[in-house]
Amino acid sequence: MLGDLLKKAFSSNKKSNPFHEKSNKEEIQIKEQKIHSDLEYSMTIFKEIYSFPDNKDVKFRTFQIGGLKKQACLISISTITDIKLLDEYAIQPLLRNDNPSFSIENVLAVQALSTVEYNKDAIYEINKGNAVLFIEGYTKAYSITAANFQGRDVSNADNEIVLKGPKEAFTEKAASNISLIRKRIRDENLIVESAVISKRTKNELFIVYIKDLANKQLLDNIKKRVSSLNVDSVQNLALLEQHIEERKLSLFPSILYTERPDRASAFIEDGYIVLLMDNSPDSLVLPATFWSFFHISEDHYLRYIYGNFTRGLRMIAIFITLFSSSIYVGITNYHTEMIPPDLLLAISATREKVPFPAIIEVILMEFAFGLIREGGLRVPTPIGPTIGIVGALILGQAAVQANIVSPIVVIVVALAGVCSFLVSDISMNFAIRIIRFFFILSAGFFGFYGMTAVFTAGLFYIVSIKSFGVPYLSPMTPKYTSSKDTVFRRLLKNEIFRPGYVKPKDMKKT
């Protein structure tokens, strides 16, 4: 299993293509052509391209334009287009018009109208949900913006829950996500650039930043990396994240993934760059440092003392998660003298009947906890409580009574498990949970010596990694001018600097 994993991690797809594929050269050639003035001909082409009438939701509405006395055809995909809008503001005005000298632009009462000249552009517009109007004798077509994709409305954040502060979260519609950001930053310098990042599906990516804040080099770097993708389809940001990150095999995430528009806006206002996409109820923030994974938005919404109190708790929780199990292994195997004798006797009394060495015991319990956690996540809601009962009773109570594990191990592992939930970012959460196993193993081999060795090596690693050129532990080390928002935050009136490591064009916030 492990060998397979390693093979998968280090192999690449650079071998020559062994597949026999059918060439679609002809179709590509047709798509590259300009729009033909012969409406009949154009329609034949488009009907073939869209496999009409097999393709049920592609509609070809042919009619005669009043006044002009010309045949016209409106192509749209009915499931992603606003039919009512098309009918009322495009088809009806054209049909009822009786003025022979008029321009199409003035009759169509729609919000946005553009012209296309090539077949492929027309196809792109249709696929985007717009309707394209072809007219007899015209070598161009009109694209009417009428996209209407189905999706859910803005709802509460599910993963990054706060008690105080806004509750909205991003949804799968990029347009409404951008609207949520614009609602917070009413600035003409807020730029929403778009780029097509995949070849076949033509997924659109939105790059959001403030023009006079975001560092140009960083922006160019991101644009370059995004445009150099060579893939057929990138469905959402979670996949894009893996395409553009620098260290794909690193344990630590280097791009922040947040579903909260308030958080994304706060980052944009600090000079960071945010990526949005359709089908992603979230945003990517880059560059990211260790601290951005450690913080949550509520730290700043709560009053100074309360916010820092939760920060302190969270930092302690990270250490408990990382070290509690391994400290138990280390102490019971190597450093028994450090526990007060009474406690030592109590521990050894409970361990008396347990047949396994401490490290096996701990790994067993950690594994069980991991299973419960993963199982609880995937279980359908109606049978959810079962997991709780099975987990608590069978794996906790019964395992102790059956002398498989000692009660103190249950406490230690459960404590670590509970504490791991304080890190709300899912990537960092995984990183910490995986690192915990390294510490347990090292404690099994070398006690505290091994743990410290792993810790020091890990520290060397974590200071050396970078996210888009930004050191992971900055601004703590190496030092940059910033509001010093690291483990603890400062009073709002003292947070006057944007983070220097992002190299914003304007450093002072006041």
Partner 1 sequence: MEDSKGKIGIKEFIAIIILTIGTKLTDDTTVILYKQMENAAWMSPFVICAFSILPIFLLIKVMNIYENKNLADVINQLFGRFFGFFTVMILWFLLFSALTIDSAVYTDIISTMYFEKTPVIMIYGLLMLVSAFGAKKGIEHIGSVAWSVIFWIKLSLLAALILTFMQGEILFLFPIFGNGAWEVVKESSLRTSLNAEFLYLGLIFPYLKNKKDYKKGTWIALAIITTELSFSLAAFIMLFDHKGIQLMDFPFHETIRYIEIGFLENIETFFFPFWLIASFIRFAFYLYLTAILFGSLFSIRNFEHLLPIIATLVVFLGIIPENPTFTIFKLRESLLFITTPIFIILPFLLWAAAKLKGEFKNEKAKASD
Minimum CB–partner distance for residue 455 and partner 1 (Å) = 7
Long-range contact set of residues 153-158: C-beta below 8 Å, sequence gap at least 24: 154/180, 157/259, 157/260, 158/259
Which residues, in sequence order, are CB contacts of 130 under 8 Å at separation 6+?
A: 76, 81, 143, 144, 145, 146, 147
Considering the complex, what minimum distance in angstroms separates the CB of residue 168 from partner 1? 31
Q: Is 444 in the site for partner 1 (CB under 8 A)?
A: no
Residue 459 in the binding site for partner 1 (CB under 8 A): yes
* CA 183 to mean position of chain CA atoms: 21
Among 446, 484, 490, 500, binds partner 1 (CB under 8 A): 446
Q: Which residues inside 421-440 make contact with partner 1, applying CB under 8 A?
A: none
Phi, psi of 321 (to 5 degrees): -60, -45
Q: Is 479 in the site for partner 1 (CB under 8 A)?
A: yes
Residues from 220 through 239 that contact partner 1 (CB under 8 A):
221
CB of 446 to partner 1, least distance (A): 7
Residue 210 forms beta bridges with which residues? 190
Which 334-393 positions form the footprint of partner 1 (CB under 8 A)? 334-335, 337-338, 340
Please tell me whether residue 215 binds partner 1 under the rule CB under 8 A.
yes
3-class DSSP assignment, residue 472: coil
Q: According to CB under 8 A, which one of 196, 453, 492, 496 is a site residue for partner 1?
A: 453
- Interacting stretch for partner 1, rule CB under 8 A, among 19-27, 103-111, 431-439, 457-465? 457-465
User: Binding to partner 1 by residue 217, rule CB under 8 A?
Assistant: yes
Cα 505–Cα 508–Cα 509 angle in degrees, nearest 5: 105
The least CB distance from residue 452 to partner 1, in Å, is 4
The values of phi and psi at residue 445, to 5°, are: -85, -45
Contact call for residue 85 and partner 1 (CB under 8 A): no
φ/ψ of 497, rounded to 5, equals -110, 145
CB of 206: closest distance to partner 1 in angstroms? 21
Contact between 476 and partner 1 (CB under 8 A)? Answer: yes
Strand 141-144 with 131-135, pairing: antiparallel
Provide the 3-class DSSP secondary structure of residue 412.
helix
Q: Quick check: 468 binds partner 1 (CB under 8 A)?
A: yes
Largest Cα–Cα distance of the chain, in whole Å? 103
Residues that bind partner 1 (CB under 8 A): 215, 217-218, 221, 287, 331, 334-335, 337-338, 340, 446-453, 455-457, 459-461, 463-464, 466, 468-471, 473, 476-479, 503
